[in-house]
């Protein structure tokens, strides 16, 4: 299993699959926002940024999967999955235990050198309330589903990291 994960991490297909799954989740979030009319809150915007980090990790890894650039992609992947897991957990706690003294910000705070809310307001401007639970599927809210998603990303990333020392077997057609 670990040899297989190592072999997959040295190919473009697995990295592109990572990027495509994150892109599909981003497109789903935009569907919820622009088609279904659900307003994203600040925590939702930050979770989107973590998903963009996972997508970026997939792109970085796919550029040169057999080079040391793979390690950079893996580091971005693990960091983004950890941050996404932390953010979605905090968001879930805001929804499950609403408190008038603990609220989220009115607007996302991006660094001055990366004003995403100014560059792409249709994606990165928050207009909802973090404590509002306006969507459920199988009794789980959206941030609870994001906990599942980011936990899955993190588990797979750690498995791939553990698999790195296990070199794939060389296949020789003349040996048994």
Mind telling me the catalytic residues? 41, 44, 48, 104, 130
Which residue reads 């953010």 in tokens? 87
Strand partners, 140: 137
Give the Cα separation of 8 and 12 in Å (integer): 8
DSSP tag of 164: T
Candidates 15, 23, 26; CA nearest to 59 is 15
Instruction: Tell which residue, 92, 66, 83, 54, has the closest CA to residue 12.
Output: 66
């Amino acid at each position: 299993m670990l040899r297989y994960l190592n072999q997959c991490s040295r190919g473009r297909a697995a990295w592109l699959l990572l990027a495509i799954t994150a892109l599909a989740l981003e497109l789903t979030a935009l569907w919820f926002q622009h088609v279904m009319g659900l307003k994203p809150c600040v925590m939702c915007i930050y979770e989107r940024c973590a998903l963009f980090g996972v997508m970026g990790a997939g792109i970085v890894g796919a550029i040169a999967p057999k080079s040391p650039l793979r390690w950079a992609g893996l580091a971005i992947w693990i960091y983004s999955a950890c941050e996404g897991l932390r953010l979605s957990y905090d968001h879930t706690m805001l929804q499950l235990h609403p408190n008038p003294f603990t609220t989220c910000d009115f607007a996302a705070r991006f660094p001055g050198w990366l004003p995403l809310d100014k560059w792409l307001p249709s994606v990165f401007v928050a207009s909802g309330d973090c404590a509002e639970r306006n969507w459920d599927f199988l009794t789980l809210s959206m941030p609870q589903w994001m906990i599942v998603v980011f936990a899955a990303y993190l588990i797979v990333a750690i498995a791939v990291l553990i698999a790195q020392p296990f070199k794939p077997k060389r296949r020789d057609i003349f040996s048994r």
